[in-house]
Amino acid sequence: MNNNKIINEIKKLKEKKNAIILAHNYQIPEIQQIADIVGDSLKLSQEAAKAKEEIIILSGVHFMAESAKILAPDKKILLPVKDAGCPMAEMVEVEQLKAFKKNNPNIPIVCYVNTSAEVKAECDICCTSSNAVNIIKNIPSDKILFVPDQNLGQYIAKQVPEKQIILWEGYCIVHHRVKATETKMIRECYPEAKFLIHPECQPEIQDEADFIGSTSQIINYANSSQADTFVIGTEIGVLHMLQEQNPDKRFFSLSPGLICANMKKTTLEDIRNALVNEENEITLSKELRVKAHDALKRMLELS
C-alpha cells in the first residue's frame, strides 16, 4: 500500500475516532508530516495535558506515552509500537531509588522525563532537557540527586555551580556514543558551521558546541540564527523539521551514529493500525498515576 493511501486512511480514522497524533521530533519524516503536533518531550507533555480529543496516539517511546496517560488520565493513550522503549529509562531501578531515599531523606530527587512512571512516582519533580537548569535553580536545596542522565546532570552542574548535583550512572546510548574524533573531523569539513549540541552528549562533545539545548531549543536557535550552516548534535530526526523550516540553510549530522532505533520503529502503518485496532493502550494504576502526576505537574508549573 502506498503512503498516500495510508495517510488518507489515517486522516479519516482520526476524524471518525476523535483522535490526535502527537509525535516526537525523532520520529521518521512521514510521521512528523502526518502528526497534529510535533515536539520535544516537554511540548508533548504540555499538549497531552490539554488535549480535548478522546484518543491520543503517542508516536514516540514508552515513557512518553506513560507521561501522556499521567497528565490525561481520562484519555485513551495508544503507543503504536508496543516495544518502543528507552534504554536510558531502564537504567534506573526503582528499588535502588527507594534505597537512596531511605538513606538520604532530605535530598530532593529530580528525574529526567526519560524515566518510567514508577520512577517518577518516587521523585520530587520531573524535568526535560529544555527546563532542567531552571527547575534545578528553583529547588530550595543545596544538594540534589539527578536521575538518570549523567551527561545532562553534568551540564546542569556547570550551569548551577552553587548546588551539588549527585549523578546517576545513566545515559542515552545514542548521544553518549558520539566521539570527540567525529567532532574534530566534521569541524574540519565545515569550519564555518555552528555546532548545536544536545546536553545528552558527553561533556567533551558539549565543550565543542556553539549552543547547547534541547531539540526544540536547537530548532529555535537555527531558525533565528543568521548563520547558514549547522552541525546538529542530536538524533537525526530533527534534521527533517530544520530543513523544512529553513530551506536556504544547510544542516549536517554530527555523527552517523545519532539514530535512535526505538524512535525509528514506528511507521505510518503502525499509526493506521493503532487507530483501527486501538491496541497497545497505556494503563496505570490510580495509585501510581497520582504519585507520578505530582512530579510532572510541578514540572509544568515551573515551565
pLDDT band of residue 178 (cuts 50, 70, 90) is very high
Is the domain spanning 89-172+291-301 CATH 1.10.275.10? The answer is: no
pLDDT band of residue 41 (cuts 50, 70, 90) is confident
- Secondary structure of residue 57 in the 3-state scheme: strand
Indicate if the pLDDT at residue 50 is higher than 80. Answer: yes
Enumerate the domain spans of the chain: 3-83+263-282, 89-172+291-301, 178-253
Task: Say whether 178-253 and 3-83+263-282 share the same fold.
Answer: yes
pLDDT band of residue 300 (cuts 50, 70, 90) is confident
Please indicate whether residue 62 or residue 299 has the higher confidence score (pLDDT): 62
Give mean pLDDT, residues 238-255: 97
Please indicate whether residue 299 or residue 269 has the higher confidence score (pLDDT): 269
- Looking at residue 221, its pLDDT comes to 98
Q: pLDDT digits over 63-108, tens only?
A: 999 999 999 999 999 999 999 999 999 999 999 999 999 999 999 9
Indicate if the pLDDT at residue 155 is higher than 80. Answer: yes
The four Cα atoms 165, 88, 109, 62 give a dihedral, to 10 degrees, of 150
CATH architecture assigned to 3-83+263-282: 3-Layer(aba) Sandwich (3.40)
Closest CA to 69 of 10, 116, 11: 116
- Looking at residue 1, its pLDDT comes to 56
- Looking at residue 104, its pLDDT comes to 97
pTM: 0.93
**What class has domain 178-253?**
alpha beta
- Looking at residue 301, its pLDDT comes to 84
Q: pLDDT digits over 199-219, tens only?
A: 999 999 999 999 999 999 999
